[in-house]
Structure 1
Amino acid sequence: MNRLQKWVRSSWSVPVVSGLLILLSFGIERLGGGAWNAVIGPQWWIDAGAHAHGSGHVFTLANAFMLAAAVVAGYGIVVKAVRALMVKVIGIDLLVSIAAIGATLIGNFWEAAAVTFLFAIGHALEAATLTKTRSALTELVAVAPDTAIVMRDGEQAEIPAHQVRMGEIVLVKNGAKVPVDGQVVSGTGAIDEASITGESIPVEKAKSDQVFAGTVSRGGFLQVLATGIGADTTLARIIHRVEQAQDAKAKTQAFIDRFSTWYTPAVIVLAVATWLLTGDVVLALTLLVIGCPGALVISIPVAIVAGIGRAARNGILIKGGEYLETSAKISAVAVDKTGTLTEGTPKLTDIVVLAEDMDRTEVLRWTAAAEAGSEHPLARPILDTAREAGVGPEGIPGQVTPVPGKGIVADVGGRRVLVGNPPLLAQYGITDDAGAGPAARELAAAGKTPMIVAVDETVIGVIAVADQIREDAPAMVDRLHEAGVQKVVMLTGDTRLVAESIGQKTGIDEIHAALLPEDKLEAVAQLQRQGHTVAMVGDGVNDAPALATADIGVAMGAAGSAVAVETADIALMGDHLLKLPESISLAKRTVNVMKQNIAIALATVVVLLAGVFTGGVTMSVGMLVHEASVLVVILNAMRLMRNDHNSTAMARELRTPAKDREAVDA
């Protein structure tokens, strides 16, 4: 019974029943003669039919089934039209309702049944297509975990996932879904994060690593401290964002909606004028059917839903149709250096010894002792390297005085240690740099940040720290150019020498270095004044002004970041640069499909109108062609659900280790 009720409520029940009634009518008509084809109905109806159409067109049993088919298929259409009229909206349903009722009144039962039946099929196809194109959202909802195993009172307890409390320890076993966002406190395992980042290769997780609700354990055992539950999980935020985005309208769709508001009444006026001028009511009703902008109305939303759904499945969240449309026009991409083109985790790369009585370890020891009290980000890699070498500072560091723009001065065991640039040496009266100047310039030219180290009055060496370039940064720049981006610009607060080195290695078109946050904003505004549609990729902190100014703000590695998911126009859930050109390519494909759909819809209406006035198109044939155009528009949009060649190649490149890619290229 439940299955029958489900079918009755489905969008296909109406066209199926209507279609069966039409087939019964045709069957009775073919049998012919006798009681099967007898004239039925009240005498006034029979007389009216005979008077209007002659004895061959009176109301028969076959016509009764055809009328029943029209009523079954047309009832819902009329109800929708009346409801729309009550809120002063004249829509496509009204056109079909008038045409079907008019055809019934003049005895064209086949035309009435055909029009309503084909329109009902069109509605069912639209509903099925939107369900299909929303499959990415359905898949996201499906991966939401139902249960969780938590530690309570020292024992394992299986509870519904939504009942997990913040701060509880959740156990994640092999094959289980992670029920919460959290931090691993014990154990190791491999987690499939495809539902969040779009990447199918499991990620190894250990103590202190982040895990996300909806991901799946592919091996190992983890104890996870719950830091995000229920609606506060990354998965819940993604589902909410995709749901909003698929319902958001693009500018083109808004225009089509405004166009339809005027177009539909215009078709009604045209039909009435035709009837008054020609006296041909059938021609007037046919114009109503032919003028239905069904394919035009669905052409944009079905493409948007498919495009955004395809992106979400690949770990790319696009805020809505308007942003999808704007992304297709991107001609310039501005990228921050640290954390975007580079890994964002500086490492100590060089130690140049300049004092004859010292070695690398001794230079590292003095530098680390001075940096122990520094808050500068570059102090961390120096201290980490010193500890690994066994010369890390112990206890509380001596007094450290930062010198803005130059470096630091530290008191280490009663001796003065300077770590910084040549102006710092000059400030403290050190004139002999022992060759540190040329060494520092050479390191800077290689894209590294050099620091000269002096103890008392003697320069003992130069150390260099560098942020490693991401392996996929050069490929990203190439892909952006292939996607139609004219200019890729680096905006960084780092020095010119370091920026130029990174730019040369990655193929960046234009470099702006030593920028403050307001300078980055001005650089983006300048690109816009040059006529570019600009996308800005940054971390959302010091890049916030530039991100707000850009036409499209892009957040990378947004998994787990509530702010990035909610505020970015495009959020790349994984930390892969190649997702950026992939998102632009997908946006261009979606907009192309939208344009193709509009062209198909308008061309169909024009051709059919021409056919009506030349006498070659009837009401039923017109509706058949009209619904065929709807089907073509739908199928065209469905192509977006497939991965194109470039997306497949990008995905393969993302999953292939660098050394293997080099072997393939060789």
Structure 2
Amino acid sequence: MAKKINEFLAGLPMTMVSGVFLLFALVPHLMNEFGGAESHVAFFPFDPAWVTIVISGIPLLYLAIWRVIYNPGISKISSALLICIAMVAAIAIGDLFAAGEVVFIMAIGALLEEATTNRAKKGLKKLISLAPTKGRRLRHGKEEQIPAEEILQGDLLRILPGETIPVDGKIIRGETSVDQSIMTGESLPVDKGVGEEVFCGTINCFGAIDISATKVGEDSSLKKLIRMVQEAEYKQAPMQRIADRVASWLVPVALLIAVLAYIFTGNIVTAVTVLVVFCPCALVLATPTAIMAAIGQATKHGVIIKSGEALEKMGKVDTIAFDKTGTLTCGRLEVSDILTFDETLSEMSLLSLAASAEAKSEHPLGKAIVAYAKTKGVAFGESTSFKMTTGKGIFAEVQNRRLLCGNEKFLNENGVSIDETILSVLEQLRTQGKALILVAERNQCIGVIALSDVLRPQAKNIVSRLSDMCIRTVLLTGDHKRTANYLANQVGISEVRAELLPEEKVRSIETLQGEGRKVCMIGDGVNDAPALKTADVSVAMGSMGSDIAVDAADVALMSDDISKIPYLKRLSNATVKTIKASILLSMCINFVAILLSLMEVLTPTTGALVHNAGSCFVVLIAALLYDRKFE
């Protein structure tokens, strides 16, 4: 009950009410200070500052007491405790406006900080929803649907086309292509045959397969992925207020100066004034206001920053780890090369034949070839006798020509021999990380169409700019080593770690952190979520990235423009500098105010106004961040 009341009073609506009553109290208190007027507005039977004290003071008092009771060691002493002491002292001498002002400023600071640190928690729920709930078990020659949690190691399972694989396993019968982007981030379905491993949560695209369960329940790959995200989320501590970091010495010093002031002046008002001006309100506002301005600045540029901690840490980042697919590349396949091995056949003719044959195919490579032919305005005819061999290729008749389109194994199985010259060309294309569709007719390979993920045009420039800023760049990807190395060479990344599962990406991040590096991870897939959570700062590609990756990340690039990464780095550096400048200014103002208080120039009310002016200066300096140019 007490917690609910506290949350209600600390909310934005009641804080606004608190501010209105503080304004009502301000005018008569100033008149009383300088002209001897009544200390409250005529139409109020009480000083309106009491309302501010109750609304904004109770949550602060609750926080101070809670920390004294539950926080360990020196962390029991907080800025909330100092302000509560000042509030009680001001009330004791009858200066209610001063008491109300310090607690109201703290309430505003708490709201600003809460606004900068709230994070969406939907990502983990979505990740959990990907976990399969049922499996098709084969027992005594019969199929039975059972809950996924009842599947045991060694059980024989049948996975039909389009179904999600319920556990980790090994294929014992059948061939297929598996979409395992959830685990590895690979942009292409991976062809799988007998003896190869499949992972929980991945999707069987084409053929029916039978698998033997190898890892079930909490040991499965997807469950480990979920667990890693949960653990990383738990480890992410919220940003601690700077004022609370120094409260261990701030409170004793304030009390000591106030006591000495009373001893030497004999004036309790002077002692209370010292406590009021010592309150770290400007210090509390310095961080959240600068962060709010920076977040607003970033939002204008399509960069969504979820917390102040992300900005603070981004300023310290010295290593950026990139995922490949959907990050440095666009995440879509396009035809990159068309090579003919028949002198009578042109490239466009080969494309026309391949597109005609693949027109009825559901395979992503076939669809990409057809889409490319359409963009080139290539005419292609109707195919007949279409037949697809899952995970290998297709047969079709086009214009009375019997064509085979598929991989080397498929062509060899159908009596097509491939000579050494062609094999060397194919090997060269593979070293560039390209997927290949071979086209054959009359037992002869007549050409090859290569496809590759499209490199973002600005990727090379971004890596170069980061290098100029002394930022180390690393490529972490689930793709094959040859694909990863080829792309890394194109963009200028020298450090490559390929063929990584999600837990291996996490270990790579932890290894870099173990070297004393501050790591920023940039990714877009579900498989990137644990690494995004483990990194010191994480950035997700917002418009095309998975919801889970976006929710797991600290920053989202809504336009998928990675050129914003250097901008984000410069913005975070400027934000940290602004916060430090604001803290220095607030401390200087407090120091001057303390001297004026000891000289009895300031009273609790005028002291509160001076220290309020310091808070306004801090907000003004922070606001300048909003319109600064960082491009």
Please give the TM-score of this superposition, normalised by the length of structure 1.
0.59
Equivalent residue letter for 2:618: V
Unaligned runs of 5+ residues in structure 2 are 1-13, 66-79, 119-235
Shift of 1:292: 1.7
The answer to whether residue 271 in structure 2 is matched with residue 287 in structure 1 is: no
Shift of 1:290: 3.0
- 1:26-41 equivalences under 5 Å are 26=34
CA contact (8 A) 1:133 1:306 kept: no
Equivalent residue letter for 2:27: G
Shift of 1:398: 1.6
Deviations 1:165-188 (A, max 9, x none): xxxxxxxxxxxxxxxxxxxxxxxx
**Structure 1 residues 439 and 100: alpha-carbon distance in aligned structure 2, compared to 1, 3 A threshold:** same
Equivalent residue letter for 2:452: A
The 2-side partners of 1:625 and 1:339 are apart by 53
Please, which of 240, 257, 265 is the counterpart of residue 252 of structure 1?
Answer: 240
Deviations 1:557-605 (A, max 9, x none): 3379654553332222223222333333333333332333333333443
The answer to whether residue 335 in structure 2 is matched with residue 360 in structure 1 is: no
Equivalence for 1:543: 528
Equivalence for 2:406: 419
The 2-side partners of 1:17 and 1:536 are apart by 51
Equivalent residue letter for 1:75: W
CA contact (8 A) 1:557 1:575 kept: yes
The answer to whether residue 64 in structure 2 is matched with residue 75 in structure 1 is: no
The answer to whether residue 573 in structure 2 is matched with residue 588 in structure 1 is: yes
Shift of 1:606: 4.1
Please, which of 12, 20, 27 is the counterpart of residue 19 of structure 1?
Answer: 27
Equivalence for 1:239: none
Shift of 1:556: 0.9
SS at match of 1:467: strand
CA contact (8 A) 1:133 1:638 kept: no
CA contact (8 A) 2:506 2:530 kept: yes
Please, which of 471, 481, 498 is the counterpart of residue 457 of structure 2?
Answer: 471
Percent identity among equivalent residues?
Answer: 32
The answer to whether residue 448 in structure 2 is matched with residue 462 in structure 1 is: yes
SS at match of 1:417: strand
Equivalence for 1:398: 387
Deviations 1:402-436 (A, max 9, x none): 3xxxxx35444596736335x87788886652632
Equivalence for 1:383: 370
Shift of 1:333: 1.9
CA contact (8 A) 2:22 2:97 kept: no
CA contact (8 A) 2:335 2:450 kept: yes
The 2-side partners of 1:26 and 1:525 are apart by 62
The answer to whether residue 625 in structure 2 is matched with residue 640 in structure 1 is: yes
**Number of positions where the alignment pairs a residue of Structure 1 with one of Structure 2:** 477
Equivalence for 1:552: 537
CA contact (8 A) 1:331 1:532 kept: yes
The 2-side partners of 1:437 and 1:272 are apart by 89
The 2-side partners of 1:342 and 1:303 are apart by 34
The 2-side partners of 1:86 and 1:548 are apart by 32
**Structure 1 residues 311 and 99: alpha-carbon distance in aligned structure 2, compared to 1, 3 A threshold:** same
The 2-side partners of 1:274 and 1:98 are apart by 18
Equivalence for 2:7: none
Please, which of 468, 472, 475 is the counterpart of residue 490 of structure 1?
Answer: 475
**Structure 1 residues 583 and 279: alpha-carbon distance in aligned structure 2, compared to 1, 3 A threshold:** same
**Structure 1 residues 86 and 619: alpha-carbon distance in aligned structure 2, compared to 1, 3 A threshold:** closer
SS at match of 2:330: coil
Please give the TM-score of this superposition, normalised by the length of structure 2.
0.62
Shift of 1:395: 4.9
The 2-side partners of 1:427 and 1:380 are apart by 24
The 1-side partners of 2:110 and 2:531 are apart by 39
Equivalent residue letter for 1:308: I
Unaligned runs of 5+ residues in structure 1 are 1-5, 28-61, 105-111, 138-247, 403-407, 650-666
- 1:69-468 equivalences under 5 Å are 72=47, 74-76=49-51, 78-79=53-54, 80-81=56-57, 84-85=60-61, 89=65, 91=81, 94-101=84-91, 112=95, 115=98, 119=101, 123=104, 250-253=238-241, 256-257=243-244, 259-260=246-247, 263-264=250-251, 267-268=254-255, 271-272=258-259, 275=262, 279-364=266-351, 367-368=354-355, 371=358, 376-386=363-373, 388-391=377-380, 394-395=383-384, 397-402=386-391, 408-412=392-396, 417=404, 419-420=406-407, 433=419, 435-441=421-427, 443=429, 448-455=434-441, 457-468=443-454
Relative contact order, CA 8 A, sep 6+: which one is greater? 2
Shift of 1:302: 2.2
CA contact (8 A) 1:451 1:463 kept: yes
**How much is the aligned-residue C-alpha RMSD, in angstroms?**
4.6
CA contact (8 A) 1:373 1:398 kept: no
CA contact (8 A) 2:303 2:557 kept: yes
SS at match of 2:565: helix
**Structure 1 residues 287 and 431: alpha-carbon distance in aligned structure 2, compared to 1, 3 A threshold:** same
**Structure 1 residues 252 and 595: alpha-carbon distance in aligned structure 2, compared to 1, 3 A threshold:** farther
**Structure 1 residues 542 and 395: alpha-carbon distance in aligned structure 2, compared to 1, 3 A threshold:** farther
Shift of 1:380: 2.0
**Structure 1 residues 282 and 362: alpha-carbon distance in aligned structure 2, compared to 1, 3 A threshold:** closer
The 2-side partners of 1:336 and 1:530 are apart by 20
CA contact (8 A) 1:479 1:578 kept: no
Equivalent residue letter for 1:322: E
**Structure 1 residues 538 and 626: alpha-carbon distance in aligned structure 2, compared to 1, 3 A threshold:** same
Please, which of 570, 582, 596 is the counterpart of residue 597 of structure 1?
Answer: 582
CA contact (8 A) 1:96 1:289 kept: yes
Equivalent residue letter for 1:488: T
The 2-side partners of 1:114 and 1:386 are apart by 76
CA contact (8 A) 1:78 1:94 kept: no
Shift of 1:293: 1.7
Equivalence for 1:65: 38
SS at match of 2:446: strand
